[in-house]
Amino acid sequence: MLKLGVNIDHVATLREARYRGLPDGEPSPVAAARICEAAGAHGITAHLREDRRHIQDRDVWSLREVVKTRFNLELANAPEIIEIALRVRPDIVCLVPERRQEVTTEGGLDVLAAEPALTDTRKRMNDAGIEVSLFISPEADQIAASARTGAQFIELHTGQFAEHFHDPLKGRVALDRLVAGAKLAHELGLKVNAGHGLNYENLKALYEVPHLIELNIGHSLVSRAVCAGLDRAVREMLALMQDYA
């Protein structure tokens, strides 16, 4: 069964738009995590960025307390963030590249260039009982390097697939790369997740990709929630206002 990990970063993005620097605010990523789990999600994903643009340290600690399924903490291979992860002890960490100017994570890790450092972090995480995934593009050399680090998982970056989904030629090429990458990873003993840019329209095309365990999806779910849940929010606000004299 293909599992769903819900990335709640964009819930925090909405909160930070008004409550940046304050100790509380809405919407709550923790409340969102509870709703997602109650709806059947198999895991919760959050990215603690170095610049703390959305998820905050307090969110990570609270999520560790309340998540009952599987808590996946995305993070850069940066000393401060690594130390936080080792204290929080999520079920799994996904190491991702991080650039300050990007809106969201673009591109995969260059595992080849950082293999010794990533291997060291992988060992530290595993010694603490935390599984490790590496967020990479579906390239054979990166997949092979990921296997050499000893990581348990890779997460295939599906951004190119999502970007070219409506282009028959480029979309086909991107999908074929994911298929080949998943097959190679499986052969090398890696478990395979995928994510980035997945939505209600392009998801079923990924059925061609073998060996997938979990899809991590965030923006599309939060976007859908804004629209699908807005009717109820307006009605509840009107109900609160109706007794005004």
Query: Are 77 and 84 in contact, with CB atoms under 8 Å apart?
Result: no
Q: How far apart are the C-alpha atoms of 142 and 96, rounded to whole Å?
A: 13
| E strand residue ranges, 23-97 | 43-47, 71-75, 92-95
One-letter amino acid of 68:
K
Burial (CB < 10 A; 0-12, 13-18, 19+), residue 125, is buried
Residue-wise DSSP of 163-215: HTTT-HHHHHHHHHHHHHHHHHHHHTT-EEEEESS--TTTGGGGGGSTTEEEE
Q: Which of 98, 157, 196, 214 is catalytic?
A: 196
Both tokens of residue 1? Answer: 């069964």
Active site residue 47: yes
Query: Are 138 and 185 in contact, with CB atoms under 8 Å apart?
Result: no
Q: Which of 37, 54, 74, 98 is catalytic?
A: 74
Q: Which of 10, 47, 54, 157 is catalytic?
A: 47
Active site residue 219: no
Active site residue 115: no
For the annotated catalytic residues, the residue numbers are: 47, 74, 196
